[in-house]
Each structure stands twice: as structure tokens, then as C-alpha cells.
Structure 1
Amino acid sequence: MNAGNKSWFRVGTFAVCLVLSAVASFVMWPSFAAFPAMETWSMICGYLSFLLIGTTLLVGPIRTWLPARWTSASVSLRRDVGICAGLFGVLHVVLVLVLFNGQPRLMIVQESHIQKADGWLGLFFLDPQGWSGWPLPNWSLSGVANYLGLCAFLILLALLLTSFDRAEKKLGGGTWKRLHIANPSLFLLVAFHGLIYAQSIKGEPHSFADFLWFAGFVWLVRCIGFAHTARRRRR
């Protein structure tokens, strides 16, 4: 793929991602009608980031069935879809931080009680207790979900900031590849973060199926792709 074709291919990739994200947002919006608009957008951006991260994990296995001339295009596709995933993930986090620092304070329904988040630090720490007066880590179910989300965000931000040719050159090919091998781990962290919120904190309109069917499909395709590649190399 020459430079001109690569540029147009990248523009097309971003355009398709934007259109599909707009369609997905339109489809999901009625399900969140009971939530404020900003909270709805934060959840939709989280879903879109999850779906796009999973899509980047599908590109590699699918490439094993394609002719060698598609290698360059698939690498460009995976990188640009990953950039879109990173942007939606960052927007999700920014909206969450704005929500938890706004008025009225956002409430989290958890099991049999309602937790009031006192600013964004309330996502990770409990009120000071005991003689020390220091805030304690929040090891409740919501706290664990938030810690998983924080780890996922840090990985996502690192991948986003290094998803450019200049960053790859500065890091060196080996270091860059070792960093971007974290993509499957990122997908798992986001999946568990979403599953905890869907099942035990937010509840409706979220459900286990929102995350499990897609996560299962991604890992099934990757397992098939791995088996296909291993068999081909043995031959």
C-alpha cells in the first residue's frame, strides 16, 4: 500500500468508525432514557470503547486467512480502530469525572444500599476512619470495579499515546511491541469492569449479555486463529 492509498484508507477507517458509532449510539440511546444526558453519553462511550477494543483483537486472527498483500492494510486498520477506541475511552473517563464532581452527587446503587460518591476520589477511597484520619481504599464491589477501570484507563492511555509512527520510532520496535501486547489484557480489564457494574452496581438497562456475548466471540475467533496459525506453521 503506497502512501496515498494508505492516507485514504485511514480516512475511510475513521469515517466508518464514526458512522458505526453514531448508529450504535442512536440504537442504545432509548435504553438509557431514564438517565441524565451526560451520564448516558458516558455509558455509551464506555460501550463503544469496549466494542472497538474487541474489534482490534479480531483483526489479527482474520488476517491469517487473508492474502499476504493485506498485511499492511490490516495493521493500519487495527491501529486506527484502536485510536478510536482510545478516544471513546478517554471521553468516557472524562465524563465520569465531571459527573462525580458535579451537583447533585451521583449515586451508585449497590446490592441493598446506595453509595454516595463524594467527588471522583470517592470512587476509590472511603471517608477517613480511625485514628490516622487517612482515607481508606474502597474494597467494595464498586471500588474493585473502579480500580479495574483505572488500570484499564492507564493502559488505554499508554496505547493511545503510542499509536503513532513517531512514538513507535522513539520507543523502538521491540519496546513498542511489548507495550502493545497489553491489548488483550486491556480488553479483559474493561470486560470485568463492565460486568461488575452491569450485575451488581448499575443494574438495568445493563446486563451480562452486553459484555459476555462479544467477549466470548472475540476469544473464540482468536483461539481459532491461533490454532490455524499453529497448524500452518507445523506444515
Structure 2
Amino acid sequence: MGTPISFGRRLVVHVSILSLILLGTSWMWADFSSFPALEAWSMILGYLSFILIGFTLLIGPLQSLFPASWMIVSLSIRRAIGIWAGLTGLLHVILVFVIFENEPRLMIIHENRSEKADGWLGLFFVASSDPTMWPSPNWTLTGVANYLGLFAFFILLALWLTSSARAEKWLSGSSWKRLHLANPWLFVIVLFHGLIYIQSIKGEPHTFSDILVFAAMIWMIRSIAFIRRAFFRKR
């Protein structure tokens, strides 16, 4: 497969990705400028993580269009994008917990009335009117979105912590590959998490099309690459 790329080239890849993240943040900030700073950062980081996860799904299909000698470079780029997807996703979750535990708190729309989540546990549980009773699971639409987000976070965290070559060697190639095959499912879970939140968060500046168009592009490119690969294998 060739020799691994040098530290200098990996550094260039990471700096390039960070530069694109900063450019994306600057471009999106105008849409979120009406929100308090922490809320704006949490949503922007969530969008960026979703976009980066999507791009990790494109590296493999696009690799088939380039010479085999580029395999090491493309894998290094995919790993770097995955690392930044994990970092932005982790920061998104941390900020959401901070926001719901302290002020400001996001306003949730449910059953035609606004409710404030009571602390970060309010993301997942509904307090009982009887103080002696345990809280019940939050099965509202927004609560389901929170459970999806939490599930996606654990998947993303597992992928992020095993994104290094050392982790791949420690897990052995087959186990590592099976774990990272969860990446497309992660994308789908985050997609539904984002779609529900766009519907349920008051003042969300983006629409369904902003996410669905990007998701459709990802799956269209992957489908074309799969059909192309299957066609050439059959020939």
C-alpha cells in the first residue's frame, strides 16, 4: 500500500481542514447571530460535524476515480476529516449540556407551547409531579431527537477514539473495520437528529432542504460509485 505520509503532510491536511472549518463558521455565523453566543456555537458545531461526517463517506467512492497510488493519501485525509468531525461533535454535545444546565436555555416547541428544558437531564427525562416518583423518559419528538443525538455521540466517540493507526493495529484490522462500518449509520442518525431539531427549535434559521440536499448529494455519489464499481467488476 506504500509508505505512510509524513508528519509534515499530515499537518498540512489538518491545517487545511481547520481553515475550511473556520471559513464555514464565518459563513454560517450570520445565520446564527441572533442567538446567544453559546447557542450559536453549539448549533454551528453540530452542523459542521454533520458535514464532516458526510465528507468522510465520500473519500472511499471518490478514491475509485484516482490512481491506486493515491490510496494512502486519501485514507489519511479521511482519517483527518473524521478526527475533526469527532472534535466538533464532542464540542457540540458539551455546549448543549452547558446550555441546558445554565442560562441561556434553548426554547423547545412542543404541543403548540414553549417549554424550557429543566437542566441537561430534561433533555432525556420528564420530571414527575410527584417528587417521590422517578422521572419518566422524554418521548416527545424533541426527546426522541435527543436520544438519537446521544446514540450518535457514542458512535462518534468510539470512531474518534479509534481513528489513529495505533488504535487500528490494537483492534486488529477486521475488528477496526467492522467498527468503522458504522459511519454510514452514524450519518443517518445525525441526519434525523438534525431534521427533528430544525422542526422543534424556535428560531432555527435553516430548513429541511439545507440538510436533505447535502444528504442526497452524499448518497447519490456513493450510489453512483457503487454501481460503477459493480459494473467494472462484472466486466
TM-score computed with the length of structure 1 as normaliser: 0.95
- Percent of residue pairs identical: 56
- The CA deviation at 1:211 is 0.6
Looking at structure 2, the residues matched to 225 and 198 of structure 1 have their Cα atoms a distance apart, in angstroms, of 31
Structure 2 residue aligned with 1:63: 63
Instruction: Give yes or no for contact 2:198–2:208 (8 Å, CA) kept in 1.
Output: yes
- The CA deviation at 1:200 is 3.0
- The CA deviation at 1:165 is 1.4
- The CA deviation at 1:100 is 0.7
Amino acid at match of 1:51: I
Q: What secondary structure is seen at the aligned counterpart in 2 of 1:14?
A: helix
Instruction: Give yes or no for contact 1:109–1:201 (8 Å, CA) kept in 2.
Output: yes
Residue segments in structure 1 that go unaligned for 5+ positions in a row: none
- The CA deviation at 1:104 is 4.8
Amino acid at match of 1:30: A
Instruction: Give yes or no for contact 1:56–1:78 (8 Å, CA) kept in 2.
Output: yes
Looking at structure 1, the residues matched to 141 and 203 of structure 2 have their Cα atoms a distance apart, in angstroms, of 13
Instruction: Give yes or no for contact 2:36–2:104 (8 Å, CA) kept in 1.
Output: no
Amino acid at match of 1:170: W
Amino acid at match of 1:69: S
Instruction: Give yes or no for contact 1:111–1:201 (8 Å, CA) kept in 2.
Output: no
What are the within-5 Å matches in structure 2 for residues 1-235 of structure 1? Answer: 2-3=3-4, 5-110=5-110, 112-129=112-129, 133-235=133-235
Q: 1:131 to 1:101 in 2, by over 3 A?
A: closer
Looking at structure 1, the residues matched to 40 and 168 of structure 2 have their Cα atoms a distance apart, in angstroms, of 35
- The CA deviation at 1:105 is 4.0
User: 1:75-126, CA deviations, whole angstroms, 9 ceiling, x for partnerless residues?
Assistant: 1111110000000000000010111111354322335111211111000000
Looking at structure 1, the residues matched to 93 and 51 of structure 2 have their Cα atoms a distance apart, in angstroms, of 16
Instruction: Give yes or no for contact 1:14–1:80 (8 Å, CA) kept in 2.
Output: yes
User: 1:5-40, CA deviations, whole angstroms, 9 ceiling, x for partnerless residues?
Assistant: 432221121111111111111111111111000110
Q: What secondary structure is seen at the aligned counterpart in 1 of 2:6?
A: helix
Cα root mean square deviation, aligned: 1.6
Amino acid at match of 1:65: L
Looking at structure 1, the residues matched to 108 and 199 of structure 2 have their Cα atoms a distance apart, in angstroms, of 13
- The CA deviation at 1:132 is 6.7
Amino acid at match of 2:50: F
- The CA deviation at 1:155 is 0.1
User: 1:190-228, CA deviations, whole angstroms, 9 ceiling, x for partnerless residues?
Assistant: 111000111233453021022101000000000001011
Looking at structure 2, the residues matched to 115 and 147 of structure 1 have their Cα atoms a distance apart, in angstroms, of 18
Q: How many residues align?
A: 234
Structure 1 residue ranges, 4+ long, deviating more than 4 angstroms after superposition: 129-132
